[in-house]
Amino acid sequence: MSRTTVTTIALVVFAWAALLSFGGVAAETVMLYPNIFADPPASLDRAREFLVAGGPSDYFPPLGATVVLVGLVAVVATRRDPRVRWWVGAALAVFVAAEFLFSAAFFWPRNEIMFVDPPGTHTAEYLRQVAAEFVAGHRVRLAGGAVTSVLAFTALLRHVRASAAADTSGEAPARATAPR
């Protein structure tokens, strides 16, 4: 299998995984969050009852790990093409910052308070405050997912265009010294 084919596959899977992650966050935003955060603490209690068999914590960690792993593979696959490498690296950096680091620092402690701590541990006022903070912070995660998806898809398009141009000219793909 040629290097171009391997790179194309890595970029397709990376863009697909990034878009899948962003789509999941966007769907969660419009379908689950209005119900979960409508009227804390009562809506948080209903969410605990509803999200018993599965929930976002079952879906997003494995998908996030996949995005990071495939992103690393895409960075390695594009290491010799700076026109694409920087887009992939930027997409991966945004994803790690917005989806992992920000989530670990901001969302995980709030999830503990709202969904893990026994009911009655915190006052209703405090739960409303934590829920409002969570929803406000969620915008960062949503924006990060959108930016990651755009960067990953841009990397894929740039790679495919360069490969197509090389195929029609009969030459090997040109290597630029600086991003265009």
Integer Cα distance of 69 and 33 in angstroms: 28
Residue 171 located in a structural domain: no
Which residue's entry shows tokens 């405090």? Answer: 126
Domain that holds residue 22: 3-50+57-165
Contact partners, residue 124, CB within 8 Å, separation at least 6: 40, 41
Reading the chain (180 residues) residue by residue, the pLDDT tens digits are 899 999 999 999 999 999 999 999 999 999 999 999 999 999 999 999 998 888 888 999 999 999 999 999 999 999 999 989 999 999 999 999 999 999 999 999 999 999 999 998 999 999 999 999 999 999 999 999 999 999 999 999 999 999 988 877 766 555 545 555
User: How much is the pTM?
Assistant: 0.87
Helix (H) or strand (E) holding 85: helix 82-95
Contact partners, residue 19, CB within 8 Å, separation at least 6: 149, 152, 153
Residue 173 located in a structural domain: no
Integer Cα distance of 87 and 83 in angstroms: 8
Residue 180 located in a structural domain: no
Q: What is the 3-state secondary structure (H, E, C) of 16-32?
A: HHHHHHHHHHHHHHHHH
> For 118, which DSSP code?
P
Count of structural domains, the chain: 1
Residue 170, pLDDT score: 64
Is omega for the bond preceding 41 within 30 degrees of 0, making it cis?
yes
Residue 142 located in a structural domain: yes
Residue 119 located in a structural domain: yes
Residue 174 located in a structural domain: no
Query: How far from 127 is each of 15, 59, 143, CA to CA, in Å?
Result: 37, 24, 25
Which residue's entry shows tokens 């879906």? Answer: 59
Residue 61 located in a structural domain: yes
Residue 171, pLDDT score: 60
Integer Cα distance of 24 and 34 in angstroms: 15
